[in-house]
Amino acid sequence: MTNAPPAPSTVDDRSGAPATRPHIPELDGLRGLAIAGVLLFHAGHLSGGFLGVDLFFVLSGYLITDLLLRDRQLSLPRFWGRRIRRLWPALAVLLVGVTLLTWAFGTPDQLRGALADGPWTQLNLANWHLLAESAGYWDRFGPGRVFGHLWSIAVEEQFYLLWPLVVLALRRERAVALAAGLGSVLSLGLMVLLAEPDRVYTGTDTRAFSLLLGALVAVPAVRRWVLRRVPSWVVLPLLAGLAVSWLLVDGEHSPILFQGGLFAHAAAAALLIVLAPGSVLARGLAWRPLRGLGLISYSLYLWHWPVFLLLGKEQTGLDGWAWTLLVCAVSLALAVLSKVFVEDPVRFRASWARGHTGLVAFAASMAVVALTWIAVPRPAAAVIDTGALGGGGAVSANGPKASRVLFMGDSIAVGLALPLAAATKASGLTLKSVAAAGGGGVVGPLAEMTWAELPGTIAEFRPDVLIYQVTTYDWGSAAEQRAGYERLVKAAGQAKVLFVTMPPIKPDEFYAAHLDELARTATVLREVAAGGRAEVLDAGQVWGATYQRDREGKVERSTDGIHACPAGAARFTAWLLDALAARFSGVTKVSPETWANTGWSADQHFKGC
Residue 392 carries which side chain, given as an amino acid letter? G
DSSP states along 200-243: HHH-HHHHHHHHHHHHHHHSHHHHHHHHHHS-GGGHHHHHHHHH
Q: Which pLDDT value is given to residue 6?
A: 33
Q: For the chain, how far is it from start to end, CA to CA, in angstroms?
A: 59
Angle at 608 between CA 606 and CA 609, to 5 degrees: 70
How long a stretch of residues is the chain?
A: 609
Which residues partner with 498 through β-bridges?
Answer: 467, 535
Nearest to 64 by CA among 158, 162, 155, 160: 160
Q: Can you tell me the distance from the alpha carbon of 224 to that of 581, in angstroms, rounded to the nearest whole number? A: 75
Q: Can you tell me the distance from the alpha carbon of 317 to that of 282, in angstroms, rounded to the nearest whole number? A: 41
Name residues whose C-beta falls within 8 Å of residue 596's C-beta, 6 or more positions apart in sequence.
384, 386, 389, 419, 422, 570
Per-residue three-class SS string for 281-341: CHHHHCCHHHHHHHHCHHHHHHHHHHHHHHCCHHHHCCCHHHHHHHHHHHHHHHHHHHHHH
Residue 398 carries which side chain, given as an amino acid letter? N
Q: Which pLDDT value is given to residue 17?
A: 47
Q: Where are the domains of the chain?
A: 20-375, 388-602
Positive/negative CA dihedral, 144, 146, 147, 150: positive
Name residues whose C-beta falls within 8 Å of residue 132's C-beta, 6 or more positions apart in sequence.
437, 438
Q: Which pLDDT value is given to residue 13?
A: 38
Q: Can you tell me the distance from the alpha carbon of 145 to that of 553, in angstroms, rounded to the nearest whole number? A: 27
What's the CATH fold of domain 388-602? Answer: Rossmann fold (3.40.50)
Which residues partner with 432 through β-bridges?
Answer: 406
Name residues whose C-beta falls within 8 Å of residue 422's C-beta, 6 or more positions apart in sequence.
595, 596, 598, 600
Q: Which pLDDT value is given to residue 21?
A: 62
Model pLDDT for residues 528-543, shown as the tens digit of each residue: 998 788 999 999 999 9
Q: Are 59 and 214 in contact (CB under 8 A)?
A: yes
The helix/strand/coil state of 471 is: coil
Q: Can you tell me the distance from the alpha carbon of 597 to that of 609, in angstroms, rounded to the nearest whole number? A: 17
Residue 536 carries which side chain, given as an amino acid letter? V
Model pLDDT for residues 210-255, shown as the tens digit of each residue: 999 999 999 999 999 999 999 989 999 999 999 999 999 987 778 8
Q: Which pLDDT value is given to residue 195?
A: 72
Q: Can you tell me the distance from the alpha carbon of 248 to that of 175, in angstroms, rounded to the nearest whole number? A: 38
Nearest to 135 by CA among 562, 515, 533, 557: 562
Name residues whose C-beta falls within 8 Å of residue 173's C-beta, 6 or more positions apart in sequence.
69, 219, 220, 221
Per-residue three-class SS string for 153-186: HHHHHHHHHHHHHHHHHHCCHHHHHHHHHHHHHH
Judging by beta carbons within 10 Å of its beta carbon (0-12, 13-18, 19+), is residue 548 exposed, middle or buried? middle
Residue 403: how many CA atoms within 13 Å on its side-chain side?
2
Q: Which pLDDT value is given to residue 111?
A: 92
Q: Which pLDDT value is given to residue 193?
A: 87
Report residues of the chain scoring pLDDT below 70. 1-22, 134-143
Q: Which residues of 57-74 are buried (b: 16+ CB within 10 A; e: fewer)?
A: bbbbbbbbbbbbbbbeeb
Which residues partner with 585 through β-bridges?
Answer: 397, 401
